[in-house]
Amino acid sequence: MSAQIDDIIARALAEDAPWGDVTSEVFLPAGATASAALVAREPGVFSGGDVFARVFALVDPDTTVELGIDDGEPFTAGAVLARVAGTARAVLRAERIALNLVQRMSGIATLTARYVAAVDGTGARVVDTRKTTPGLRVLERQAVRDGGGRNHRFSLSDAVMAKDNHLAVLGASGVSVGDAIRRARARLGHTVHLEVEVDRLDQVAEVVEAGVDTIMLDNFTPDQLREGVALVAGRAIVEASGGVNLDTVRAIAETGVDVISVGALTHSVRALDLGLDVTVL
């Protein structure tokens, strides 16, 4: 995990200053030092403290970062979340990348916490999807956990998940969903999870009876979800997907589903407003 994070940061730093920070190098004395405070401009839930600190360490190992809050903790506007000290060149070189990452991670954690709070007491789990920023999945998935959510499969290699397009290909090939599930079961190792998406109630019985671990009910109304949960009758995990937002998630959770997947946690989240206030020493 740490190697993945270092790789993300290294690529971001190389993108931001491929041949160095020419502004700081020509304007700032080499020996100038600075301190900075990471300050919240709005309330939220913190995520990415170690990532924030690691950016500064990779720019200059002598830069010090003191975190004032743990990942997953809420904070108010005006709170000082971290303090940084080092050469002015190093602090300013790392500033934008460190902010970009911690702002996005904290935005995801904050939004996730709102969804988790909305389903409190129902027993439903809020999970993310693969609708992540290319290259940043490991960070965005951490942010979801920091917000109290859970992670879906990390990649296409982690589980079998047959969705609508897979089923369309099967139908065109003359293969029934039930037969495809049974064939998959015969080929898979016993540790591999098998999930199938359906978009109609009349598909539920065949899919569950064929032996899936999870059935995803896609774009079902709350009444349809209740009926789907009753049809499954505890024989598989029931996941709801589609049409999920903060206005609808509570009603979806109250239908008895086990899992609610929310693409919005990562694909359209707003970065939280955090600032790095720099003081020259």
Q: 69: buried, middle or exposed (CB in 10 Å: 19+, 13-18, 0-12)?
A: middle
Q: Is 227 assigned a catalytic role?
A: no
Catalytic hit among 83, 114, 130, 163? 163
* Rounded distance between C-alpha atoms, residue 204 and residue 217, angstroms: 9
Question: Of 71, 146, 197, 239, which residue is the catalytic one?
Answer: 197
Clarify whether 128 is annotated catalytic: no
Catalytic residue among 83, 96, 145, 250: 96
Contact by Cβ (8 Å): 171, 37: no
Annotated catalytic residue within 60, 73, 213, 218 = 218
CB 165 within 8 A of CB 155: no
What are the CA-CA distances from residue 273 to residues 11, 26, 44, 48 (Å)?
Answer: 23, 30, 9, 14
Phi, psi for residue 35 in degrees, rounded to 5:
-125, 160
CA 207 to chain CA centroid, Å, is 29
Q: Annotated catalytic, 140? A: no
The answer to whether residue 71 is catalytic is: no
Can 273 be counted among the known catalytic residues?
no
C-beta neighbour count of 84 within 10 angstroms: 24
Segment (H or E) for 217: strand 214-218
Task: Name the active-site residue from 83, 114, 131, 153.
Answer: 131
Enzyme catalytic residues: 96, 131, 163, 197, 218
